[in-house]
Amino acid sequence: MEAQVNRPYASTDVSANLKNKVPKAAAQKVLTNLADKGILTIKMYGKQSVFVYAQHLLPVLDHKQLSALEEDLRVSQDDLEEKRKDLKSLQADLATKGKQAKTEDLGGKIEHLKADNKTTIRSLIPFRGTDDDGSPIIPLSAEETKKIDDDFIQWRKEWTNRKKVCKDLMGALQDAYQVQDQCTCEEEQGISPEDDEAKAIEAGEFCRPGIKLSPRPNPVREVDPMKRSEIGNPEESAPKRKKAKRV
């Protein structure tokens, strides 16, 4: 059963509501006859005539009925506000659940986590059991770890210093034209270059911070006494500045 509404209708609306079973011209004729009988009120909007039920024929509600309608309206508005809050909460939950993994994807994620768990447990087995000779394996203490780090820093510093000395010596020999080819000279002297593994370790994250080495002192070069007389005293050879005259 359709709800009754109190609103204006044109013949086009009536024909459309009846699924065009009644032509527009016939609907216009029926509505005009009802208006002539006083059941409908006709109003013209340009060339279109609009019909509305005669308002004086409607029953007039008393004060109690109007109060009851206002109370029903207030209750309906409160219910509508609660429904809106529930809808907003459900939409937020839907958005949160939409970001989670779907049911069809959970199987792959579970298998991936199981594989990671097995790898982690396998890496912890030596620390929980024994080694090849049956003796228990005890993890390194903080002092032992620090000693290993200190030894690494010490021997890396020694290696860096020797590498720098070798580089400086090779550069001095090349400057003196005593070495023509560095690779040939290193091969003849039994100096093995760094392999790829050493280069990878030095360029890795373990050595990336680097070690600040103290600057090596510059060697004191002795000057021949004969040349020293030719060079003379630097203070004497320097040009003397003229004193400015006071005005």
Runs of H (alpha helix) within the chain: 11-17, 24-36, 63-99, 103-128, 142-175, 182-188, 196-203, 225-231, 234-237
Question: Looking at the domain assignment, is residue 32 inside a domain?
Answer: yes
Tell me the C-alpha distance between 84 and 78, whole Å: 10
- For 156-205, what is each residue's pLDDT tens digit? 889 888 888 888 888 888 787 777 777 787 777 777 777 788 788 777 77
pTM comes to: 0.31
CATH of the domain at 30: 1.10.10.10
Contact 13, 20 (CB under 8 A): no
Question: Looking at the domain assignment, is residue 27 inside a domain?
Answer: yes
Most confident stretch, 55-59, 81-85, 207-211, 237-241:
81-85
Question: Looking at the domain assignment, is residue 233 inside a domain?
Answer: no
Question: Looking at the domain assignment, is residue 238 inside a domain?
Answer: no
Other Cβ atoms closer than 10 A to 40: 20
Question: Looking at the domain assignment, is residue 160 inside a domain?
Answer: yes
Distance separating the N- and C-terminal Cα atoms of the chain: 120
Q: Which single residue is written with the structure tokens 């990878």?
A: 200
Higher pLDDT, 241 or 7: 7
Total domains present in the chain: 2
The whole domain housing 160 covers 143-203
Higher pLDDT, 194 or 45: 45
Tell me the C-alpha distance between 26 and 20, whole Å: 11
Q: Which among 40, 57, 74 is the end of a domain?
A: 57
Question: Looking at the domain assignment, is residue 90 inside a domain?
Answer: no
Question: Looking at the domain assignment, is residue 126 inside a domain?
Answer: no
